[in-house]
Structure 1
Amino acid sequence: MSGTRPGTYFSLLGPVQAHRGDSPLPLGPPQQRALLAMLLCRRNAVVGLDELIDGLWGGEPPRSAVGTVRSYAYRLRRTLGGGLVTHGRGYALQVGPGELDLTRFDELTVRARAHVSAGDPQAARDLLARALEMWRGPALAGLPGPQARIQRERLAELRLSVLMERVELDLRLGGHGRLVAELTGLCLEHPLNDRLRAFRDAALEGGGREREARTTPPGAAAPTA
């Protein structure tokens, strides 16, 4: 089965984009890009027409939903090539190795955890930092529909989890002082996250600021200087 045209690269970790070489590809209006995002999240697997309709509109789709989805798929196929294929009442997008930023993100985190298991925290920390640098903002930014919202929340949780892994490695490597500002901001963003608060307190204590760690209440900003 043929894939997308050679050199196509997809991005989900921010606004949904596709590039061929250095050239961005036109992906159409937000709802059409939301359909592409659903196919990318289930890459190389068939997504049924009913599931696509539910993901775009929820429980009250318009009467034109079937035709609209088919029109979106036709337009995307013209842009992307033969990798977007029809299977009965569904579609699948064939995505090869290295053609999606989320796949690359997952690969880097797996490699980082292998380095942790091998006793090399510095290499693990550097790989996690590289993975996190791939994010260009909130995943699937600006896309409509219930499925885009679900995937956006899932990917935000994934990013935070990997970020906490990187912070924990930074602490193991003695980077307490330079973590205070970052962790203070994260605690304000996620005031109910006890693990982040513990990391912030550890950074303050490791940087010789034990009193601030004891007196800063949850969700409050610790002085950064």
Structure 2
Amino acid sequence: MNVIPFRPRSQPQAEPLAFAIGARVDLRIGALAAGVVRPRGPVEEAFRFSHLTRTLRGARMAWRERGAYSPLVLALAPEVQNSLEADLLSEAAFEAGCTRQLMGFELHERELVNAGPALAEGLRARGWSVILRGDPACPLPFGGRARALYSEIVVDVPDAPDPFLALENGDRTPLGRRILAAREAGMIITAESVRTASQARILAIAGFDRGGGPLAEAGLR
């Protein structure tokens, strides 16, 4: 009798997600503070209305499946930021089931300098939180207008920050002055990437509220 060997059907490979979600934690207590949604794929396609709506809906559902209920932030790509409109972003978020309390938009400072604050103002006027992704040169002044527009600033920090970074008589670099101004404006101050617990402690002493990067991602695993 001829025996036909059994060959199991190959399992279909799962398609990669159209987005990645990074974490940001409270540097003082370690609690999850926010998730940052970064669309994948060709940038122009990723930020078209239909694609963006699916991305935000999928990210919201994935975030809840992890048991996370902190807000999500959509990080806009600098390449397309100045071509986007507040109406498109707002409608995409609503279509995806996002709420103003649990959704924000992160805009790049350099692109705001190049094109003006219309996008930030439009999102803020529609009730969304606007997060400023700081430029190392710190070109925007933090006056009353900035305080009304931005609820949070995200900045790059050195691996070994000075604990006196945000003290009035301490660091006089552009970053130090910016942290002082952001703190006086009542903004949330976030370090883009925090690698170790000791770095997190120093940043908390220096006036930072939140941190992302390896330390935060470890909490999601």
Fold-level similarity (TM above 0.5): no
Give the TM-score of the pair, scaled to structure 2: 0.25
TM-score relative to the length of structure 1: 0.25
Answer 1 or 2: which has greater helix percent: 1
If each structure's strand is expressed as a fraction of its own residues, which one has the higher value?
2
Bigger radius of gyration: 1
